[in-house]
A and B are shown apart, each in its own frame.
Chain A
C-alpha cells in the first residue's frame, strides 16, 4: 500500500515538473568552475571577480568595450602623484538599504588589506585611504602607480555596518576554522544584481536590483549560475534547453553547435596569449644531454626554436582555426599593445637547422618541455605534442612533461622546468604591466615570479619600473613599446598564439563578449 502511494506520488511529481512554465528573461548559464567565495576579498581570482562584479561594485568599473568608467566614484583627480582624490557617487544604496559613503570605502580598504587577507596584494601600492568628507576619499600611494584605476576596478566596496552586523569585519582566515564565514554565501553590494542564494558548487541565484543607480541595459529579472565541470554535460545541458548560455565550449563541439538552429556560437578574441618560456639562466639544463653549457643561453638557439615552430599549422590543425598567431605576449585588446611589434619571424626549419649548427648543436640536443594538460590553456597538451614533432624535425629532441595545471605551474614557479608553456592575459588589470611585472622582469623575490629561470635584462627591468610609475599616456606607451621591443629582440620567449573565446547561447539571448572573458550580466538581454 505504502509502495503504491509512493509510486503515485512520484508520478504526480513527474507531471508537475513537466508542466512548470519557464519565465521570461531569466538567464541560466554555466561555466566549468564555481566562484571561490561570495566574499570579494576571499581570493584574487579572475572568474570569482567577474561574477561578483555583478553584485558588488568598485570605485571604477570596466565596461563591455574594455574601457574604464566611473562606478561608485563619479570623478577623480590626481592631487599629487602619490595622492588621488575620488568623489563618491551620492544617493547610492547597498542592497539592504544602507547608504554608501566614505566610511564604507575606508572600511573596505582596512578589510581587504588586513594581515590575514589573501587579497591585500592588489592594494599593495596604496598606503592608506583617507576620508575627506562623507563623499570624498583620498588614496595615498607608496609611489606613483600608473594602473591604479585598473587595479581599483577589481576592488569591490563592502558595507561597513553589514559586515560588522554579521561578524565579518575581518577577512576569511585560512589558518583558522573557527569563524562562520557568513560572507562566503551572502553578499550585500551596490551592483545591478542582488545575491539571493549561493550554494557552493551547486548554484548562484541573483535577482535584478530595482534600486540600482545606473540605467539597466539588461532585461533580466533573475540570473542562475551553475558550475558544470564536465564539458560534455555542459554542452548537453545547453542543447536540452536547461541552460541559456555557456562559456568554454570545447573546440570539438563547435561544429555540432553551429548546426543547431536554436543555438548561436559566440566567438571572439581572448586576452590570453600562449608562449613558451626557457631557462636561459642556469649554467646547464637538468633535462638536457648537453653538459657544461646551457643551449638556451644562446640567442641563436632560441631563434632556431622559434623558426622551427609552424604556428600556422598549430592554428589550423590543433586550434581548428580558432587562434591568432602572435609575436608578442600581449593581445591587441590589452592596453599597451603595439601592432608594429606583432610580426612573427618566418617559419623556416632550414634556417633553424643552420642556426643550431652555428651555435654548436649540429645534431640538436635533448630537453624537457613542461606543459599543462587539463585545459587551463585551450588544447594545451595537443599543442605541446605538435611542438614535440616540429622541434624534432630540426633535431631538438623534446620530451613532454604534461601534468595538471596545479602541478605544472607549481613546478614552473619553483624553477624546476627547463622549458615551459605559459599563457598570459594581463588580467584583471587589462594592462601590459601585469605581464611585465610577473613574466618579463628578472626574479627578485617580489617581481618576476613567472620568470624564475627565464630571460633577465637589467635595462629592461629599469624600463618596467618606469612603466609602472609614468602617468603621461604618450610617454608611457613609448616606454612600453621599447620594453616590448627589447623582450622580442632577445627572443626571451617563443610566442605562439592568442586564444579565442568560444561561448554559445540560445537564440534570443545577446551576450557581449569582451576579451577579458567577463560575463557582465547588466549588458545581457534575453527574449521578452
Chain B
C-alpha cells in the first residue's frame, strides 16, 4: 500500500517535469515581458539589460534547467507583474481558489446526486423531465455567459449579491477564508453557482445513467425478490454500486474545477489562482505561469491518488485483490 503511494507520487514527479517542459516550450509565444516591465519610455539598451538580467536571452535548455533547479529548492522567482515572490503570491491565492472549487464541487454533489437518483427512479415524471431539460441547458451554456447573466439578474437588477470580489476575509493561521464573514459568504454564492452548474448537470446525468444500468441488473431483482424494502434497494444496493465511476469522474472534475476556475474567477474578479494566471499570461509573467502549471499538475496527481484510495474504501473487490488499482 505504502509502496503503491510512493510509486504514484514518483510518477507524479515526472508528470510535473513534463508539464514544466512543455510550458517552457510555449513561453516563446508569450511575448516580451520586458516591454511591459520597463514601460514604453525605456531605451533599447535598458530593455536588453533587463532581458539579460532575467536570463531571457539565454537558450531554452539553460532557462529550463535553471527553473527546475530553483523549483527543486522551492523557489519560483519573482513575478514580473506583481514584483513579489511567486511562492508568496500562489500561497495568497490558493485559499480563494480552493474555497471556491470545493464549495462549487459540494454544491454540484449535493444537488447532482439526488437529482440523478430522482430522474433515474421517475424516468417519465414531469419533474424528472424538467431536470433533464435544465441539465441540458447547464451543459451547453459557457460559464462566462452564466456568470454575466447571474450578475445582471442578482447584482444589477435585484441588487442582492455583489458582482465582484471575495468580500471580507478572515485570516486563520495563514489561510484567508471568506466563509466566516457575511460579505464573504454573499460574494461566494454567484461564482460558486456559476462554477457548479456544469458539474452539477454532469453528475446528475452520470448518476442517472449509472442508476438505470444497475437497476436493470439481476442483483437488484433478487434483492427485490428477497423482499428488501424498496428504499434500501434503491440506496444501499443500487446507488452504492453506481458510485465507483461517479467517484472517478468527480475526482477528475475537482481537478478540472480548480484548474478551470479561470473563467469564473475572471468574470467575478475572484482573487484566486485562475485570475492570477490569466493576468500573468497577458503580461508575459513567465515565473507565475510556470509555477502555476506545475502546481496544477501536482494537484491533479494528488487528486487522482486520493481517488484511487477511495476506490479501495468503496469497492471491496479491490481490497481482496492485492490492493493495487489500475487506472
A38 to chain B, nearest CB (A): 9
Contact pattern, A 484-528, Cβ under 8 Å of B = 1, otherwise 0: 000000000000000000000000000000000000000000000
The docked-state distance in angstroms from the alpha carbon of A241 to that of B295 is: 37
- Give every chain A residue within 8 A of B165 (Cβ-Cβ): 202-203, 226
Closest to B269 in A: A228
| Segment at the B interface, from A137-145, A310-318, A338-346, A442-450 | A442-450
Residue of A nearest to B183 (CB): A17
* Cross-chain contact A406 with B35 (CB below 8 angstroms): yes
Counting CB contacts under 8 A, is A164 at the interface? no
Is A227 located at the chain interface by the 8 A CB criterion? yes
A226–B164 Cα gap in the complex (Å)? 9
A202-B166, A229-B275 are contacts. A406–B41 as well, Cβ < 8 Å? no
Please provide the chain B residues from 90 to 111 with a CB less than 8 Å away from any CB of chain A in the complex. 92
- Could you tell me which residues of chain B, from 115 to 167, have a CB within 8 Å of some CB in chain A? 148, 151-152, 155-156, 159, 162-166
Q: How many angstroms between the C-alpha atoms of A172 and B156 in the bound complex?
A: 41
**Cβ-defined contact, A122 with B163, below 8 A:** no
Q: Quick one: which of A57-110 are within 8 Å of B by CB?
A: none
Q: Are A174 and B80 in contact (CB under 8 A)?
A: yes
B278 touches A229 (CB 8 A): yes
- Given that A237-B155, A407-B29, A449-B44 are known contacts, is A177 also in contact with B276, CB under 8 Å in the complex? no
Contact among A44, A239, A240, A448 for B38, CB-based, below 8 A: A44
- For residues 404 through 449 of chain A, which have their beta carbon under 8 Å from a beta carbon of chain B? 404-411, 413-414, 424, 429, 434, 437-438, 443, 445-449
Which residue of chain B lies nearest to A239 when distances are taken between CB atoms in the complex?
B156
Task: Say yes or no: is B75 at the interface (Cβ < 8 Å to chain A).
Answer: yes
Q: Which residues of B contact A34 (CB under 8 A)?
A: 82
Contact residue among B35, B156, B275 (Cβ-Cβ distance under 8 Å from A410): B35
Is B37 touching A43 in the complex (CB atoms < 8 A)?
yes
CB nearest neighbor in B for A409: B35
* Total number of residue pairs linking A and B with CB closer than 8 Å: 190
Contact B282 A445 (CB under 8 A): no
Residues of B within 8 A of A407 (CB): 29-32
Cβ–Cβ contact A406 & B37, under 8 A: no
Q: Mark A105-137, 1 if CB is under 8 A from B, else 0.
A: 000000000000010111010000000000000
Asked whether, in the complex, the Cβ of A17 is within 8 Å of the Cβ of B182, the reply is yes
* CB-defined contacts of B33 to chain A, threshold 8 Å: 406
B267 at the interface (CB under 8 A from A): yes
B32 contact set on A, CB distance < 8 A: 406-407, 409-410, 413-414
Which single residue of chain B is at the shortest CB-CB distance from A439?
B40
Binds A, one of B47-55, B202-210, B252-260, B315-323: B47-55
Which residues of chain A are near B58, meaning CB under 8 Å?
none
Residues of A within 8 A of B186 (CB): 13-14, 17
* In the complex, chain A residues whose CB is within 8 Å of the CB of B151: 232-233, 236
CB atoms of A176 and B283 under 8 A apart: no
Contact between A122 and B85 (Cβ–Cβ < 8 Å)? Answer: no
Tell yes or no: B181 within 8 A of A by CB.
Answer: yes
**Contact of A121 with B42 in the complex, beta carbons under 8 Å:** yes
List CB contacts (< 8 Å) of B52-103 with chain A: 53-55, 75-78, 80-87, 89, 92
What's the Cα separation between A241 and B161 when bound, in Å?
A: 11
The reply to whether B41 and A44 contact each other, CB–CB distance below 8 Å, is yes
Cβ-based interface call for A175 (8 A)? yes
A184 contacts which chain B residues (CB < 8 A)?
82-84
Residues of A within 8 A of B29 (CB): 407
Contacts of B199 in A (CB 8 A): none
Chain B neighbourhood of A363, CB < 8 A: none
What B residues does A120 contact at CB under 8 A?
Answer: 46
The answer to whether A122 touches B50, judged by C-beta atoms less than 8 angstroms apart, is no
CB of B227 within 8 Å of the partner chain:
no
The 0/1 profile, CB within 8 Å of B marked 1, for residues 229-268 of chain A is 1101110110111100000000000000000000000000
Most A CB atoms within 10 A — which of B40, B276, B279? B40
User: Do A443 and B269 have beta carbons less than 8 Å apart?
Assistant: no
- The answer to whether A177 and B77 touch across the interface, beta carbons within 8 angstroms, is yes
A45 contacts chain B at the CB level, 8 A cutoff: yes
Known: A406-B33, A449-B42, A450-B40. Contact between A202 and B83, CB under 8 A?
A: no
Cβ-based interface call for A16 (8 A): yes
A424–B284 CA distance with the chains assembled, in angstroms: 21
Q: Are B271 and A202 in contact (CB under 8 A)?
A: yes
Which chain A positions have C-beta within 8 A of B279?
Answer: 33, 201, 229
How far is A177 from B78 in the complex, measured between Cα atoms in Å? 5
Residue A366 at the chain B interface, CB threshold 8 Å: no
Bound: A177/B276 CA distance, A: 18
What's the minimum C-beta distance from A415 to chain B, rounded to whole angstroms? 11
- The answer to whether B43 and A181 have CB atoms under 8 Å apart is no
- Closest CB of chain A to B148's CB: distance in Å? 5
* A424 to B39 CA separation, bound complex (whole angstroms): 12
Interface string of A5-17 (1 = CB under 8 A from B): 0000010111011
Closest to A428 in B: B41
Task: Kindly report which residue of chain B lies nearest to residue A200, judged by CB atoms.
Answer: B82
B45: Cβ under 8 A from any A Cβ: yes
Tell whether A190 is near chain B: CB-to-CB under 8 Å.
no
Question: Is the CB of A36 closer than 8 A to any CB of chain B?
Answer: yes
CB atoms of B78 and A174 under 8 A apart: yes
Residues of B within 8 A of A414 (CB): 32
- What 0/1 pattern do residues 273 to 291 of B give for CB contact below 8 A with A? 0011011001110000000
**A374 within 8 Å of B by Cβ?**
yes
For residue B36, CB closer than 8 A to chain A, the reply is yes
Whether the pair B156, A181 counts as a contact (CB closer than 8 A) is no
Contact among A177, A201, A230, A236 for B86, CB-based, below 8 A: A177
Q: Find out whether the CB atom of A406 lies under 8 angstroms from the CB atom of B31.
A: yes
Residue A159 at the B interface, CB < 8 A? Answer: no
User: C-beta contact mask, B240-269 vs A, less than 8 Å → 1, else 0?
Assistant: 000000000000000000000000001111
Distance in angstroms between the alpha carbons of A481 and B288 in the assembled complex: 46
Interface centre among B82, B85, B283 (most CB of A within 10 A): B82
* Residue pair A226, B159 in contact (C-beta under 8 Å): no
Contact of B84 among A12, A173, A175, A181 (CB under 8 A): A181
In whole angstroms, what is the CA distance A122 to B185 when docked?
45
Interface membership of chain A positions 333-373, coded 1 if the CB is closer than 8 angstroms to chain B and 0 otherwise? 00000000000000000000000000000000000000000
Closest chain-A Cβ to B84's Cβ sits at a distance in Å of 5
Inter-chain contact B83/A406, CB cutoff 8 Å = no
What CA separation (Å) do A314 and B43 show in the bound complex? 32
Indicate which residue in A176, A226, A230, A437 contacts B266 across the interface (CB closer than 8 Å).
A230
Closest residue to A412 on the B side, CB-wise? B35
Q: Given the complex, which residues of A lie within 8 Å of B47, measured CB to CB? A: 413, 449
9 contacts between A and B (CB under 8 A): A17-B186, A36-B81, A45-B37, A122-B41, A199-B92, A233-B164, A236-B156, A404-B282, A407-B32
A residues with a Cβ closer than 8 A to B are: 10, 12-14, 16-17, 33-34, 36-37, 39, 42-46, 118, 120-122, 124, 172-177, 181, 184, 199-203, 226-230, 232-234, 236-237, 239-242, 374, 403-411, 413-414, 424, 429, 434, 437-438, 443, 445-450
CB-CB nearest 6 A-B residue pairs: A410-B32, A406-B31, A13-B182, A17-B182, A407-B31, A44-B39
B interface list, Cβ under 8 A from A:
29-33, 35-47, 50, 53-55, 75-78, 80-87, 89, 92, 148, 151-152, 155-156, 159, 162-166, 181-183, 185-186, 266-269, 271, 275-276, 278-279, 282-284
20 new A-B contacts at CB < 8 Å, known A237-B163, A409-B32: A16-B182, A37-B82, A44-B38, A120-B46, A121-B41, A121-B46, A124-B43, A174-B78, A174-B80, A226-B269, A229-B275, A234-B164, A241-B159, A406-B30, A406-B31, A406-B33, A406-B35, A411-B31, A447-B43, A449-B43
